[in-house]
Structure 1
Amino acid sequence: MIALDQVTKTYPGDVKALKGISLQIKKGEFVFVVGQSGSGKTTLFKLLLKEMEPTSGTIYINNKNLGRLRRRRVPKLRRGIGVVFQDFRLLKDRNVYENIAFAQQVVGAPNRLIKKNVMAMLKLVGLPDKAKSYPNELSGGEQQRVALARALVNNPPLLLADEPTGNLDPKNSWEIMKLLEAINMRGTTVVVVTHNKEIVEKMQKRVITMSEGVIISDERKGGYIYE
């Protein structure tokens, strides 16, 4: 599903964000990526979305070499990746239904399927009665559920989540993580970047710990290293 081979990223001023990291994430895995600020987590996230290019090394997603992917093919790559952010990034002038439907419209889904798929996603995330609500009428936990529904409506094989519980209280944070676990059980590969040590320890999933641009630990069952 994901493979990095000796990937380095150096920013202007000779700032080395990643220093030759290699890793593999198999289809169907649930993986946490943890580490303090400046460890390289955000750079890794952006590289996987092809928002930037590595200085050296090779990145594969679904057996595709991202370095050889032509610019016009990038949108297709991203359609196969669901993305959830800490700040939700919902369209404020559209209701819940329209926010989720937008992701379907972008890929050219026929209108007859959009309603069916959107309502199915709202049911999955526990918000079937919020279709006509606007983001400012929802709690933070509800907004993140909508963002999750939008990320999943096109049935991507890979879900990337960047601090998905960062703006949520403990109760909502745990509910979002249980949703991600349920989604993973349906076959979606899930990669979560987080600072939340408590959730990482409770979930008992694979944990990749980064520090100063390198991977210092890769544990299969909740192995969070405290830096």
Structure 2
Amino acid sequence: MIELSHVSKTYEAGVKAHALKDVSLRIESGEFVFIVGDSGAGKSTLIKLLLKELTPTEGSIVVAGRDLNKMRHREIPEYRRKIGCVFQDYRLLKDRNVYENVAFAMRVTDASKKQIKRRVPQMLSRVGLASKYRSLPGHLSGGEQQRVAIARALVNHPKILLADEPTGNLDGHNTWEIMKLLNEINQDGTTVVVVTHDMEIVRAMNKRVITIYKGAVVSDEEELSS
């Protein structure tokens, strides 16, 4: 599903800065994986590489059978639409209500009005926000806004969901509600990759954990047996 082979990413900013160094890893279809590490370890760079926002300096990345190094620029938007992504800051359209925020993700794929009217309410119900479909993001709690972001990320049935610090702005209660939702999504067959620095979540969830330190993978631990 996701395979990185000897991937390095170097930024030229006066002095060479190695964001990632010789990273090789494989994430299988249907896995739930945490990627952890200190600030600046290279976690966000990894997400940007998977989204084709960056190109590796060295190495290859294959996602769902597609070699990202060989992907043409005009193919990138279509590729990104097939990967769900959730961020710490939600990235919702503030001037559009909950329904329109989720529907927007379908409109950019040229989905029909009939498909949108059927699918959007289903997703809002899935994340527990069916009754808030007319609300603007500014009238929602942080946890509710993140649920809208998750609904938007999933509405086009992606095989992969990337979550970059999805609970970074949430309190304890909402953090666990979001993680429970991500776990349910994974149990339905979606591959889930979560970047986080919250080790309490990581320990409690008992999933595979990939640790990055100064741009290199220093450990890759499978989930513990219960």
TM-score (norm 1): 0.97
Counterpart of 1:72 in structure 2 is 74
AA of the residue aligned to 2:183: E
CA displacement, residues 137-174 of structure 1 (integer Å, 9 cap, x when unaligned): 10000000000000000000000000000000010000
CA displacement, residues 10-62 of structure 1 (integer Å, 9 cap, x when unaligned): 10121011111100000000000000011110110100000010001000001
Structure 1 position 75, deviation (Å): 1.0
Counterpart of 1:7 in structure 2 is 7
| 1:39-188 equivalences in 2 (<5 Å) | 39-188=41-190
AA of the residue aligned to 1:110: S
CA displacement, residues 164-209 of structure 1 (integer Å, 9 cap, x when unaligned): 0000001000000000000001110000000111110000000000
How many residues were matched structurally?
A: 223
Q: Within 2, Cα distance between the matches of 1:139 and 1:109?
A: 29
Counterpart of 1:26 in structure 2 is 28
Q: Within 1, Cα distance between the matches of 2:78 and 2:91?
A: 21
AA of the residue aligned to 2:144: E
Structure 1 residue runs of 4+, over 3 Å off?
A: none
AA of the residue aligned to 2:65: N
RMSD: 1.0
AA of the residue aligned to 1:130: K
AA of the residue aligned to 2:181: L
Counterpart of 2:37 in structure 1 is 35
Q: Within 2, Cα distance between the matches of 1:55 and 1:212?
A: 16
Q: Secondary structure at the match of 1:198?
A: helix
AA of the residue aligned to 2:25: L
AA of the residue aligned to 2:27: I
AA of the residue aligned to 1:203: M
- What is the percent sequence identity of the aligned residues? 61
Q: Within 2, Cα distance between the matches of 1:67 and 1:57?
A: 9
Counterpart of 1:215 in structure 2 is 217
Q: Within 1, Cα distance between the matches of 2:181 and 2:188?
A: 11
Q: Within 2, Cα distance between the matches of 1:76 and 1:96?
A: 24
Q: Within 1, Cα distance between the matches of 2:166 and 2:20?
A: 23
TM-score (norm 2): 0.97
AA of the residue aligned to 2:124: L
